[in-house]
Amino acid sequence: MRIVLFVIASLFFVWSTPLYAVKKVEGYLFIIGGGSRSEQMMKKFAELTKQSSKGKTVIFPMASSSPEESGKAMMEELKDLGIHNVEYHVLNREKALRFESVKILDGVGSVYFTGGDQSRLTEALVNTPIHQKLLEIYEGGGVIGGTSAGAAVMSEMMITGDEKRQVEKGHAFEKILADNIVVTPGFGFMKTVIIDQHFVTRRRHNRLISLIAEHPNLLGIGIDESTAIIVKPNEVFEVIGIQNVVVYDATKAKINILPSHTLSGYHIIMHILKPGDSFDLKTNKPVEKRKTQEAYPLNNT
C-alpha cells in the first residue's frame, strides 16, 4: 500500500508540473551503465565537476543495500581523482521532506548516485525539496552523475527492474509485451527518453523494446557496462568507455497493441553506438563525423 500511494503521489508531481520543462538547461549528465568504471572514464566526471562554478560534490548512496559503505567507498574514489570537497548523505523520505535538509546541497556543483536498487533512491527523494533542488542544480550548470541504479533514475519514466507477469526465476523478460514492465517516476533530468542499464551484458532488450513500443514518444537508451553517456547542454550525448549504447526510436513507427498485450511495431529504428560516437536528442539521429581528405582522398588525375 505504501508503494502504491508513493507512485500515485509521484506521478501527480512529475506529470502535472511543467515547472522544469520550460527552463534552459546548462548542466551535464554523466550516466554510467554499471559494471566496472575505468579511471579514464571517471576522470571525465572529475573534469566536468572541476569546470563547475561551485566546488562541492555530494554523493547519494541510498540505492545500495549498504549505503554507508557505498558512500564512503565512492567518496574515496572521487578524492583519488582530485575531487576533495566531497561528502555523502544517506537520506530517508522523512529527512528528504524537511526543507532544512536542502542545506546539504548549498554550494554543490555536482551530484553522484551510486548503484543498487533504483527504487530505493526514488522512494526517498522524488517529490521532495531535495528533488527540486537537484533539478535546479542541473539546470544551473551542475553535473549529475550516476551508475547502474543511478543511471535508471535519470529519466522521467524509470524502469524499476520488475515486470507484472509472474515468472519463474531465470525466465524474466522473455517476452515483448505491452503493460508488463513496471515503471515509476524517476528524477526527470531527461524527459524524452527512458534509460536502461547493464544493457547488452544482461540482455535487457526485451524490456526496453516493450516500453518504447508502448510509449513511442520516448527514445529507449540502453547503456552497457563499463560505458557511459555524457549528455551536454546542447542535447547531444557522447559515448565513452569500452562497450556499446543502443538507442531504440519508435517515434515514427506504427505500433499495434492487442487486448492480450501482444504488440507489433513496424519501422522501429535501432542505433548501435560505440565509444566516440555522439547522438543528437533534438533530431533523434547520430552525429555524423565529418569526412576527412585523408580518409577520402581526392582523385587529382
pLDDT digits (tens, 9 = 90+) for 250-286: 999 999 999 999 999 999 999 999 999 999 999 999 9
Sheet harboring 219-223: ordered strands across?
193-197, 219-223, 245-249, 269-273
Quick one: fold of 26-278?
Answer: Rossmann fold (3.40.50)
* pLDDT for the residue 166: 87
Q: Give the closest residue to 145 by CA, choosing from 215, 201, 223.
A: 223
Torsion angle (degrees, nearest 10) of CA 41, 79, 236, 158: 100
Position 256, amino acid: N
Q: What is the pTM of this model?
A: 0.87
**Grid coordinates of 139:** 539546470
**Grid coordinates of 20:** 522544469
DSSP 242: S
Q: What is d(CA 137, CA 67) in angstroms, rounded to the nearest whole number?
A: 23
* pLDDT for the residue 16: 41
**Grid coordinates of 29:** 549528465
Q: Are 114 and 74 in contact (CB under 8 A)?
A: yes
* pLDDT for the residue 41: 94
The alpha-helical segments, DSSP class H, found in the chain are 2-16, 39-51, 67-80, 93-96, 118-125, 129-139, 149-152, 205-214
Mean pLDDT of all residues in 119-125? 97
* pLDDT for the residue 229: 98
Mean pLDDT of all residues in 137-159? 97
- Give, to the nearest 10 degrees, the angle between helix 129-139 and helix 118-125: 100
Residues whose CB is less than 8 angstroms from the CB of residue 5 and which lie 6 or more positions away in sequence, other chains included: none
pLDDT digits (tens, 9 = 90+) for 207-252: 999 999 999 999 999 999 999 999 999 999 999 999 999 999 999 9
Position 199, amino acid: F
Instruction: Map out the domains of the chain as residue ranges.
Output: 26-278
Q: What is d(CA 170, CA 140) in angstroms, rounded to the nearest whole number?
A: 44
pLDDT at 93 over 50: yes
Position 170, amino acid: G
DSSP 17-75: --TTTTSPP--EEEEE-SS---HHHHHHHHHHHHHSSS-EEEEE-TTSSSHHHHHHHHH
**Grid coordinates of 1:** 500500500
Q: What is d(CA 212, CA 200) in angstroms, rounded to the nearest whole number?
A: 17
